Amino acid sequence: MTGVRPVLVLTHVPHEGPGLIAAGIDGPLQIRTVLHDAEPRLPALDSLGGVVVMGGPMDADDERFPGLAAERRLLADAVDAEVPVLGVCLGMQILALALGSRLHLRHGTEVGFAAVDVVAEDLVLGALGDRPTVLHWHSDAVDLPAGATLLASTPATPVQAFRAGSALGLQFHPEVTVSMLDLWLGTPDMTADLEPEDVDAIRAGGGQHLPALVPAAEKAFAAFGELVRARG
């Protein structure tokens, strides 16, 4: 992988790592958590092949975590510089705010496996199919950023995915593997608001849907990896 620029992966909690995204990138990663640092030392964009922003339990505009503002600035600059960007769940919301969108707190809870309607073609998202069943784990939502293309939607969350130039935002979690799902379901912070039967339903949903979703997600993230490698 000599000569390939690394991808910066911004995480917010230890259990929400890049999962299948890492395999799709198939190159060097720099994993950082900068929540508590108002002025983090982040790599220069011209040294990066891409930027990935993962999920987390905090609000995307939570002022208790000044590093979120630094993430928003980085993402805005990355889109301006046409650096490949992928935001997942909280990461999508941070991306949307970076592009001038509005955040709607507690808009509607979606937790568990359910379908999303794909409404536009996209090189990366398209690998999942027209109506994939994916893992949701959120209650906040965002408006579609100005100039962005809506890619996927559900009745509860009108903006489930969007494309804005070099950036793709996904409100759901196609990066999750079987082992990641087991980790999440064993993490008290993830399941604190769930009833035992909800946890059982999510575990059963994983057994039903991940066998088809994982290979599709691998293709999607491989397409993102191609965009990263195209930067050299």
Positions marked active-site: 89, 173, 175
Rounded to whole angstroms, how far apart are CA atoms 159 and 145?
10
CB 229 within 8 A of CB 27: yes
Question: End-to-end CA distance of the chain, in Å?
Answer: 10
Measured in whole angstroms, how far is the alpha carbon of residue 82 from the centre of its chain? 18
DSSP conformation letters of 118-161: E-S--TTGGGG-SS-EEEEEES-EEPPPTT-EEEEE-SS-S-SE
Contact in structure between 53 and 30 (CB atoms under 8 Å):
no
CB within 8 A of 14, min separation 6: which ones? Answer: none
Q: Which of 122, 231, 102, 219 is nearest to 170 (CA)?
A: 122
Residues 6+ apart with CB under 8 A from 99: 75, 76, 79, 145, 146, 148, 164, 167
